[in-house]
Amino acid sequence: MNFKSKFKYLPGDSPMFTPAGNASGLVRGCWSGCGPSGESQGWNFNAEIAAFWKHVSDAGFVEENYIFTANDGRPGINVPIAAYNEKPDTGVYAANPNDDISTYLNVCSHPSASDLMCADSASHNAFSAMTTLAIDKKLDDGRPRAGAVTVMTGPWNNMGGGPGCVTGNSNSDNATYDITSSNKNACNLRLRLNKN
């Protein structure tokens, strides 16, 4: 049994845990000027994004105890450390980007106590193109812009990763992983959990 089937809500969005989510079906943070629901299309590490792993741990789905501390998304404190990574401080974050109605796990480096996770910066990239391709092939279709596993550079659905992540037009379904790249920190990952 998973969290949603047991509690009828996604972690972070559930009104049954503290801090309570708003039960909108989306896991979102709060950018500037949040509406009455307390969420917006931001990727700041606060609101429901920061509550995601706390809800999971409070429900007993993981052994680790994650706390809710808005604006501090460092791995090991508020989110799990990625079991495999090529860069220290790589964590696993949940969010619904922009107007997308799917929930994703975003795997990226978050080395400081800043509020914006998986920021539009190469410093947050955590994997080489070769590693990302291997993960994508194992879990999905091996294509960086299509399917349930995709690459990203940061918020707002920006795809393509940093230098050395993909070849060709990074916004095209025909993009491929740049397996000739020696950049060990070229890509971030997005794994789609559900499609509403």
pLDDT in tens, 57-69: 999 999 999 888 8
Three-class SS state of 93: strand
Structural contact between residues 8 and 16, judged by C-beta atoms closer than 8 angstroms: no
Asked if the peptide bond before residue 144 counts as cis, ω within 30 degrees of 0, the response is: no
State the pTM of this model. 0.79
pLDDT digit string, tens, across residues 95-120: 776 556 677 788 888 767 665 666 65
- Picking from 115, 131, 113, the residue whose alpha carbon sits closest to that of residue 189 is 131
pLDDT on residue 31: 58
Q: How far apart are CA 142 and CA 135, in angstroms?
A: 8
pLDDT on residue 155: 42
pLDDT on residue 105: 83
pLDDT on residue 104: 79
pLDDT on residue 180: 92
* Token pair belonging to 194: 């559900």
- Per-residue confidence in pLDDT tens, the chain, 196 aa: 689 999 999 999 999 999 898 898 888 776 555 544 455 555 577 788 888 999 999 999 999 998 888 777 888 888 888 887 777 788 888 877 655 667 778 888 876 766 566 665 667 788 889 999 999 999 999 998 888 888 874 444 445 566 788 887 666 777 889 999 998 888 888 888 766 5
Structural contact between residues 6 and 15, judged by C-beta atoms closer than 8 angstroms: no
Which residues are CB-contacts of 126 (< 8 A; sequence separation ≥ 6)?
82, 85, 86, 87, 90, 107, 108, 109, 185, 187, 188, 189
Q: How far apart are CA 26 and CA 83, in angstroms?
A: 26
